[in-house]
Amino acid sequence: MTVVPGQKGTAGLEEVPDPATRDGALLVRGIAVGVCGTDCEIAEGAYGTPPPGEARLVIGHESLGEVLEAPPGSGFAPGDLVVGIVRRPDPMPCPACAAGEWDMCRTDGFGERGIARLHGYGSQRWRVEPDFAVPILPRLGELGILLEPASVLAKAWDQVDQISRRAFFQRGRALVTGAGPIGLMACLLGAQRGYEMHVVDLARAGPKRDLVEDLGARYHSGDAADVDVDVDVVIECTGLGVVGRSAGRKLASGGIMCLTGIMNLGPDPRRGRHHHEPQHGAAQPGPVRHRECRPAPLGTGGRSARGGRPRLAGRSDHTPGAARFLDRRAGPPTGRHQSHGGHQRMTAHEVKVWSITPGLLSEGPRWHEERQELLWVDILGRQMHRGTLGPDGALERVETISVDRHIGAVAPAAGGGYVLAAGPGFLFVDDAGSVRELAQPEDGRTDVRMNDGACDPQGRFWAGTMAYDESPGAGALFRLELDGSCTTVLTGLTISNGIGWSPDASTMYLNDSGTGCVEAFRFDGPSGAISDRRTLVHVDQPGVVPDGLTIDEEGGIWVALWNGGAVHRYAPDGSLLASVQLPVQRPTSCAFGGPGRDTLFVTSARTDLDDDALARQPHAGKVFAINGLGARGLPCMPYRGRTPRSSGR
């Protein structure tokens, strides 16, 4: 993403050369880039400075990437997740820069990646010096993109802590103005410090109240002056002077106020980043005093680089709502080395917990159109569930059928009953719960089991296998034919998973969770033959893999991301169209259902989550219902082949 600084309307995507080694010893593949008000103002021509001798500036200062190349002794290795520090000290250091306190730079000579004199991180590949790279814990995943904005709030609280040590100060209540991403992170860090947190925002409706309460804080809607408690600390996060003045009136005697974004009090904005960054000082009732300094985003010298990064995660730090701080996220880049594009995060939808009892490994939702019921399985619980909806779409009744083996998938049978992919093969279950074996392609093997499956438009049931130890290449894909026989379609899979067909039935999609790939095949309906295999999407976020999938009427491919806490919608060309966040870490599969087939049902897992993780996501293992996505699913095809009930007909 590049722009000509100072010229409105010049922002766009541009091919740029690969980064030179002189730009940094670490070669990094960009995973995500955040977009904030600073980027928008640069794009609007308000400020920004290109590197010397160049007309355009690569923007993007909120970064997350994966190391591709690292020299020995750098402290990094290929595969490490990193965030790049934004500010660089003045090459002719002022006393503050010489002391390592770049935040307090007294001159105009500093550089900031993506803002002033240095290209940013908004490209597929970038380089950074090891001393200016911050390692990210793998379990953070995409939340690592929050490190840069979180560092702003960490520094704000650090200034509060320093001021509080000047004289007697007792931590009590704190008020944050604004419930946007910056305000929410200020609230999170304050709660970690033991403050009783209050957040005030003008919004009276929408998700902000729930997000604040998720953090254990109290939400106030309206003017800051109307908040009904006095506080010891105010963190001002709106950037509006009138709000800051109102909030200052709520300070108790000896209170402290930190201004993170008073734009109309800052210095000349053309000199660099000027808002959403702490300006600090003590405040008694009366005028607020502040220093004319602009604390650097992510980089208070080496102190922030390695030892002082803000606590984004710990055993008990995160609530499930923390991931929702991301308003937009850059999608996986495609093509040559170019700037990141972005997808629209789905915002008008509603996520509800639908089922009551969690499963260990809930999977394979399918909407039974004829009976208007949702089918799903608990693989490790060896159960198949049938759930009916009430008039309001809520779960009304659940019937459960148990079998003697692990169930990977279920499909309704056209003649009544259900076909299961379970254990080493296929089963038929009638409406009374009686179970009979069908084809058993892996009969005699105890090291593998059936996994996900679905019926093609002709009514044949496809299901794949995986090894219990997830051995690479041990899985296969089978097709239960209409005559009851079984055909081996593919071998060499690792974890055969979500499967589906395009609306015109010309393409079959298949996920292999072991390789992280969504594969596409040319599909011949009459014969069931597949050909022209190609990788549509490779999910390369560490620890995150594609699980189950479903297809909508427009051909969008909805993929549940195990360990990714989201469902992604991809276009038929593999580009990322949308992301729907969930309050659980391990969504497993998804299917459209309900009377209009416009509710997305998402199953999830709780297996292998420790007590701390389960405390943060108490609904793990349940089924979720998502409305308001603006999409409709394709009908779930039943198995139209021979079953014990229909074989004599």
Express each pLDDT in 140-177 by its tens digit: 888 899 998 888 888 898 888 888 777 666 678 999 99
The sheet that has 461-467: what strands, in order across it? 448-455, 461-467, 475-480, 486-493
For 337-377, the three-class secondary structure string (H helix, E strand, C coil) is CECCCEEEECCCCEEEECCCCCCCEEEEEEEECCCCEEEEE
Active-site annotation, residues: 547
Average pLDDT over residues 367-379: 94
Q: How far is CA 34 from CA 14, 23, 40, 205, 568, in A?
A: 18, 21, 11, 26, 18
Amino acid at 25: A
pLDDT value of residue 252: 86
* Residue 458 pLDDT > 90: yes
CB 363 within 8 A of CB 603: yes
Question: Would you tell me how many other CB atoms lie within 10 Å of the CB of residue 79?
Answer: 11
pLDDT value of residue 396: 85
Question: Would you tell me how many other CB atoms lie within 10 Å of the CB of residue 225?
Answer: 14
Which is more confident, 634 or 613?
634
Q: How far is CA 631 from CA 112, 442, 592, 600, 604, in A?
A: 42, 38, 9, 9, 21
Amino acid at 389: L
Residue in the block written with tokens 């080496």: 302
Q: What's the whole-model pTM score?
A: 0.52
Assign 72 a pLDDT band (cuts: 50, 70, 90): confident
* CA angle, residues 115, 127, 34, in degrees to nearest 5: 45
Amino acid at 553: E
Query: In whole angstroms, what is the distance from residue 42 CA to residue 50 CA?
Result: 11
Assign 548 a pLDDT band (cuts: 50, 70, 90): very high
* Residue 362 pLDDT > 80: yes
Q: Where are the beta strands (DSSP E) in 403-485?
A: 407-412, 418-422, 425-429, 435-437, 448-455, 461-467, 475-480
Tokens (6 digits) for 561: 């991301």
Contacts of 134 (CB under 8 A, 6+ apart): 82, 83, 84, 85, 147, 298, 304, 305, 306, 309
For 8-47, the three-class secondary structure string (H helix, E strand, C coil) is CCCCECCECCCCCHHHCCEEEEEEEEECCHHHHHHHCCCC
- Domains recognised in the chain with CATH numbers: 2-144+328-342 (3.90.180.10), 148-325 (3.40.50.720), 346-627 (2.120.10.30)
Q: How far is CA 160 from CA 252, 304, 573, in A?
A: 15, 17, 50
Assign 483 a pLDDT band (cuts: 50, 70, 90): very high
pLDDT value of residue 290: 29
pLDDT value of residue 203: 87
Q: Where are the beta strands (DSSP E) in 104-230?
A: 111-113, 117-118, 125-128, 133-136, 173-177, 196-201, 218-221
Query: In whole angstroms, what is the distance from residue 562 CA to residue 466 CA?
Result: 16
Average pLDDT, the chain: 83
Average pLDDT over residues 436-465: 96
CB 187 within 8 A of CB 306: no
Query: In whole angstroms, what is the distance from residue 17 CA to residue 380 CA?
Result: 50
Cα 636 to chain center, whole Å? 28
Which of 48, 322, 3, 7 has the alpha carbon at shortest distance from 188?
322
Average pLDDT over residues 370-389: 94
pLDDT value of residue 149: 85
pLDDT value of residue 106: 74
Query: In whole angstroms, what is the distance from residue 81 CA to residue 64 CA?
Result: 7
Query: In whole angstroms, what is the distance from residue 498 CA to residue 603 CA?
Result: 13
Express each pLDDT in 27-36 by its tens digit: 999 999 988 8
Contacts of 63 (CB under 8 A, 6+ apart): 30, 32, 33, 34, 83, 84, 113, 120, 121, 126, 145, 148
Contacts of 366 (CB under 8 A, 6+ apart): 374, 375, 376, 410, 411, 412, 454, 591, 636
Provide the β-strand partners of residue 509.
500, 520
What are the residue ranges of helices labelled H in 204-284?
208-214, 241-248
DSSP 8-state symbol, 332: P
**Which of 217-231, 318-332, 541-555 has the least mean pLDDT?**
318-332
Give the range with max mean pLDDT: 45-54, 285-294, 373-382. 373-382
Residue-wise burial string across 141-151, b where 16 or more C-beta atoms lie within 10 A, e elsewhere: bbbbbbbbbbb
**Which of 45-49, 384-388, 626-630 has the least mean pLDDT?**
45-49
The fraction of the chain above a pLDDT of 70, given in percent, is 83
Query: In whole angstroms, what is the distance from residue 427 CA to residue 410 CA?
Result: 9
pLDDT value of residue 90: 72
Question: Could you report how far apart the first and last alpha carbons of the chain are, in Å?
Answer: 64
Express each pLDDT in 118-143 by its tens digit: 999 999 999 999 888 999 998 888 88
Which is more confident, 194 or 301?
194
Amino acid at 15: E
Which of 456, 452, 485 has the alpha carbon at shortest distance from 466?
452
pLDDT value of residue 639: 96
pLDDT value of residue 540: 84
Query: In whole angstroms, what is the distance from residue 389 CA to residue 371 CA?
Result: 11
CB 255 within 8 A of CB 247: no
DSSP string of 588-599, one letter each residue: EEEEEETTTT-E
pLDDT value of residue 245: 83
CA quadruple 546, 551, 552, 553: dihedral, nearest 10: 150
Please name the helix (run of DSSP H) or strand (run of DSSP E) that holds residue 164, with its range, or none: helix 147-164
pLDDT value of residue 96: 67
* Residue 467 pLDDT > 60: yes
